[in-house]
Amino acid sequence: MTARKRYLRALVITATSLAVILMSTACFGSSNPQDTLAPRGPVAADEKGLFYPIFWIAVVVFFLVEGILVFAMYRFRHRQGTDVIPKQVHGNTRAEIAWTIAPTLLLALISIPTVATVYHLAPTKANNPLNVTVVGHQWWWEFQYPDLGVVTANELHIPTKRHINLVLNSIDVIHAFYVPQLAGQLDVVPGHNNEMYIEANNPGDYSGQCTQFCGTSHAFMRFRVVADQPGDFDSWVAAQKADPVAPGASTQAGARAFATGACIGCHTIKGVSQGKVGPDLTHFASRTTFAGSSLTNEAANVQKWIHDPQSVKPDAKMPNLHLSDDEIASLVTYLESLK
């Protein structure tokens, strides 16, 4: 009897603690930057809106079925010293029909909002959208604003409360565009122009990441979406369209090193070079991160990057140029001046 009681108590405790863990993680979400259950825009909110009802149905089914399983195991266990052949039941047509129909109905019920939301979230012609072309590179993101004449990298600026129409393309392999708090994933497939839209409710900084394995440094193909108030966004656009800051006394050496070095083969600085392999550096210093958003944009990090890009992002296209410390220092000063 006591063993039986202990058994029961252990069961109850396990079940309750499991339930508590489930509920707490499900209801409170977290403040983590890629939390899929903390949407900050209508698309992600619709996606989350589908998750929760199904999650709760699953929780009910879980406790029901697992409960019956554990109960059956306990209740019908062999008692020592007995020798009975249990009733040889081969089946029960009614029960089997019932437990075929019940899940079918439940799933049919779930499929209705599923299909409706699929069509609802399909890319549409909205009023006054902002068009952005997203180009995936191994391992960084290029963002082109075809209507505004702006090109930037790894940080996508958008105005709040506006329909942002994204056209996704890749110049090499398949990537995936994922900003969990704004929208779910869509693959960035070379030769395809996949379309999706996002919208941010409030100003903020939303973390994103490539989710389709794309080679060695897939882990470092991160990016950020920065949502600005429409006014702030307009001034950001104006700043990005401006010519780069002219070199002053302190940045002269770096500017010369850039313009006469290997840099120009791959990078664009408006009026200086037209390289297309790496990110556009015209307003490099206006970005808060670089190298696939894996480093914060500060002098020490840029210096580390130029010194040996492979040690930061293995197999990155940018080679180790074997520059002297002085050359690197002057390049860093110049790049950090390009607001």
Residues 254-293, interacting with another protein (CB under 8 A): none
Using DSSP's 3-state secondary structure scheme, residue 33 falls into coil
Contact of 125 with 207, CB cutoff 8 Å: no
* Under rule CB under 8 A, residue 94 binds another protein: no
What Cα–Cα distance (Å) separates residue 275 from each residue in 151, 254, 255, 270, 306?
A: 13, 18, 16, 10, 17
Strand partners of residue 170: 136
Contacts with another protein in 290-309 (CB under 8 A)?
A: 294
Nearer to another protein, 62 or 239 (CB): 62
Cα(158)–Cα(233) distance, integer angstroms: 7
Sole binder of another protein in the list 146, 190, 248, 319 (CB under 8 A): 190
Cα(336)–Cα(284) distance, integer angstroms: 7
Contact of 270 with 244, CB cutoff 8 Å: yes
The one segment of 157-165, 215-223, 245-253, 272-280 that binds another protein by CB under 8 A: 215-223
Sole binder of another protein in the list 152, 160, 165, 217 (CB under 8 A): 217
Sole binder of another protein in the list 11, 35, 285, 307 (CB under 8 A): 35
Sheet holding 204-209, edge to edge: 155-159, 222-228, 204-209
* Under rule CB under 8 A, residue 239 binds another protein: no
Number of residues that bind another protein (CB under 8 A): 92
**Is it true that the peptide bond before 140 is cis, omega within 30 degrees of 0?**
no
Nearer to another protein, 238 or 277 (CB): 277
Cα(27)–Cα(9) distance, integer angstroms: 27
Indicate the DSSP class of residue 280: -
Q: At closest approach, how far in Å is the CB of 197 from another protein?
A: 13
Nearer to another protein, 217 or 282 (CB): 217
Contact of 288 with 297, CB cutoff 8 Å: yes
Nearer to another protein, 183 or 269 (CB): 183
Nearer to another protein, 19 or 70 (CB): 70
Cα radius of gyration rounded to whole Å, the chain:
28
Q: At closest approach, how far in Å is the CB of 338 from another protein?
A: 25
Write the DSSP string, 114-167: HHHHHHHTS----SSPEEEEEEEETTEEEEEETTTTEEEESEEEEETTS-EEEE
CA angle 110, 113, 116 (to 5 degrees): 140
Q: At closest approach, how far in Å is the CB of 119 from another protein?
A: 5
* Under rule CB under 8 A, residue 176 binds another protein: yes
Q: At closest approach, how far in Å is the CB of 38 from another protein?
A: 9
Binding mask 47-86 for another protein (x = CB under 8 A): xx-xx--xx--x--xx--xx-xxx-xx--xxx---x-xxx
Sole binder of another protein in the list 32, 202, 274, 320 (CB under 8 A): 32
Cα(209)–Cα(224) distance, integer angstroms: 8
Contacts with another protein in 195-214 (CB under 8 A)?
A: 195, 207, 209-214
Contacts with another protein in 113-152 (CB under 8 A)?
A: 114-115, 117-119, 121-122, 138
